[in-house]
Chain A
Amino acid sequence: MKEEGQNEKRYLFDNPRNVNRLLGCFFSSLVILLVIDLFIHKHPHFPWEGWLEFYAVYGFVACVALVLAAKYILRPLMKRREDYYD
């Protein structure tokens, strides 16, 4: 992205402070989202859509489950050497 000032070789995320800033923004937006959820008036199709922080929990759990299943079940079953078909 945007280059960092005068030094040609220093790029945006070469500076750890920028990485930390980004992570800071990210974590604060997570908190903001959790807080906003308390004040939203929902009109759910399904009862669980009305539960507090349903989407946040589901998104987190789904992704963890996805990665664990892919890493510990699918990969050991399906992984072969690159020249397997040659």
Chain B
Amino acid sequence: MISTVPPAFIFIIGGLLVPFIKGKWKSAYLLLIPVIGFINLISIPEGNHWVVRFLDWELVFGKIDRLSLLFGYIFHLISFIALLYALHVKDDLQHVAGLVYAGSALGVVFAGDMFSFFVFWEMLTVSSIFLIWARRTRAAQAAGFRYLLVHAAGGLCLLAGIVLYVNQTGSIEFGYIGLNGLATYLIFFGFGLNCAWPILHPWLTDAYPEATITGVIFMSAFTTKCAVYALARAFPGTEALIWIGAIMTGFPIFYAVIENDLRRVLAYSLINQVGFMVCGIGIGTALAINGAVAHVFNDVLFKALLFMSMGAVMYRTGKINGTALGGLYRTMPFTCICCMVGAASISAFPLFSGFVSKSMVMDAAAEGHMRIIWFILLFASAGVFHHAGIKIPFFAFFGHDSGMRPKEAPLNMLLAMGIAAFLCIFIGSFPGPLYSLLPYPVDYVPYTAPHVVGQTQLLFFSALAFSLLLLAGIYPGEQRCVNLDFDWFYRKGGRLFYYVLDKVFNTLTRASEKAFVGGVAGYLGRVSRDGPTRVALLGLVPAWVIGGKTGEKLGVKKISLRGALQTGTLPVGISAAVATVFLIVVFLLM
């Protein structure tokens, strides 16, 4: 304990030092950070560590238990893989952002109090946004701003909930919360936004495909999984989560079928997979929580693997739309194989990692006699194979020959994909080590004959449906288009808001300018300039006329009086006389 430090600090400080390391040592330095972090992590005993007094509160930077540890392990592992994948990147901004982002994620999962939890939670957004902006395109910039605004709204909601909750309970400890009262709903909603719940989800499908090739590997791993961790910690067994999770598994697959940008297809399938986790947390039994958490571990690996393979394709061809790709297996065979391993894992083929975790959630739903949920999850299992399992590899690597013959991906990318692919197969074939890390004791056997045959049937006959539909020409061809999603409400709504404000306030401004600046102010100016002259002329002209001044002489008199009044150069006597008259009038009126 003396020699260890909070896991988040290694990544955050290590990340901030990246720009100072130059030359060939940089690669070694980058890869060393997660390795040192991991050694540090396994040296920390379970329990609460690094308790710091802050004002009247106790901050806990190391709440180490089986739940947080599992997230800690996978976050270290994926950081290593993502850094390896990004080694060729010369842009320090991305390395710094990636490492600080990973550190923030570790901060979130090991936070024992709500203050530090919230700070790290917000750092997730702030650091990850640079992974989007680092793409340095207009689309990425715009998507990054939308990402920032949506997360800022969710963060404020969470903060409001935390403040209310701490006010009510008097404790800032982060543990089980459960749904009761406004405060808990606000926290629930704040978590849900980062978790990409339906309707709250478009930040993910909007921003992830705009992120950099290497940045999206980090992004696919951390934000949603931190939210899953927060839900598992604070809201296990909340019934609403079962339905939210089930809907999450279901609706994205329809979008994924008609989406052209293959990284956006993966973003939709990311929501679909997180749905299984959310559903498991909602069911809340030991089996379901184990399943959800195991699925986090596996999903981080196979989703990263799929994003890495698509990233490699994008890196070599500069294209990512299904319409532009095809036939790349010819010259990128290793990337193709890795992609298929990822596809098989996400589809939960026997011997691949998804199989040993997704089925736990399915069985937990079945044990709870949740028929409709079970059917939705099964539908989603078939659907995910359809879009992530077949569509991604087929349109990128097979299908029509795009004529492109790009080089195989760079060595560091191949190594990163190789490690992830190996782990997907290893965990799928030998689930024991993963099961031994789960929060509850596991007595689950994934490989039973009916389960293996049932799942294989499900997948093979989905594949049959795909091939028949494709051969019959019914399968929807890829098209260059955008598909509306709930972000329409703020993308078009934002514009409407801007338009309305523009019309209302700018019209008001113009009207005010016309009325006050052009009208009233000018009038007052004229009155105060000409008023005294007119009053004086009114009194004096009859006197002059009576005095015999007419014609030109009267004109000269008028001009000299006007000049004297406007420049304030009346003879002293007259000024004094006017002032006296004025005082007499005032005196009489009072």
Contacts and interface: CB of A to CB of B under 8 A. Distances in A.
B374 A46 contact: yes
A1 B329 contact: yes
A55 B482 contact: no
B553 interface: no
Interface of B: 253-255, 257-258, 329-330, 333, 336-337, 363, 366-367, 369, 371, 374, 378-379, 382-383, 386, 398, 449-450, 453-467, 469, 474-476, 479-485, 491-492
Nearest to B475: A67
Contact of A71 (B257, B371, B378): B257
Interface in A4-49: 11-13, 23, 26, 29-30, 33-34, 36-37, 40-46, 49
A37 B257 contact: no
Contacts of A54: 454
A66 B457 contact: no
Contacts of B378: 58, 62
B13 to A, nearest CB: 39
Nearest to B365: A45
Contacts of B456: 33
Given A37-B457, A41-B449, A58-B458, A66 B254 contact: yes
A75 B329 contact: no
Contacts of B330: 11
Given A36-B453, A53-B457, A80-B483, A66 B257 contact: yes
A66 B461 contact: no
B459 A46 contact: no
Interface of A: 1-2, 11-13, 23, 26, 29-30, 33-34, 36-37, 40-46, 49, 53-60, 62-64, 66-71, 74-75, 77-82, 84-85
A18 to B, nearest CB: 12
A60 B464 contact: yes
B465 A63 contact: yes
B491 to A, nearest CB: 6
Contact of A56 (B257, B336, B367, B458): B458
Contact of A67 (B337, B367, B371, B386): B386
B376 to A, nearest CB: 10
Given A40-B449, A46-B371, A59 B258 contact: no
B457 A55 contact: yes
B491 A63 contact: no
B480 A82 contact: yes
Contacts of A43: 450
A2 to B, nearest CB: 7
B474 to A, nearest CB: 7
A78 B491 CA distance: 15
A62 B383 contact: yes
A64 B484 contact: no
B270 to A, nearest CB: 18
A59 B382 contact: yes
Given A1-B337, A42-B450, A78 B474 contact: no
Given A59-B457, A62-B379, 11 more contacts: A13-B329, A40-B450, A49-B454, A59-B465, A63-B466, A66-B254, A66-B382, A67-B466, A74-B257, A75-B258, A78-B255
B329 A12 contact: yes
18 contacts: A26-B460, A26-B463, A29-B460, A30-B461, A45-B367, A45-B369, A54-B454, A56-B457, A64-B469, A66-B254, A67-B257, A67-B465, A67-B466, A67-B474, A70-B257, A71-B474, A71-B475, A79-B481
Nearest to A60: B461
Contacts of B485: 78
Given A82-B480, A82-B481, A13 B258 contact: no
Given A58-B378, A63-B466, A67-B469, A33 B254 contact: no
A63 to B, nearest CB: 4
A23 to B, nearest CB: 8
Nearest to B397: A1
Contacts of B453: 33, 36-37, 40, 55
A74 B329 CA distance: 31
Contacts of A74: 254-255, 257-258, 483
Nearest to B455: A55
B457 A33 contact: yes
Nearest to A1: B333
Contacts of A49: 450, 454
Contacts of A11: 329-330
A81 B449 CA distance: 49
Contacts of B481: 79-82
Contacts of A57: 461
B135 to A, nearest CB: 17
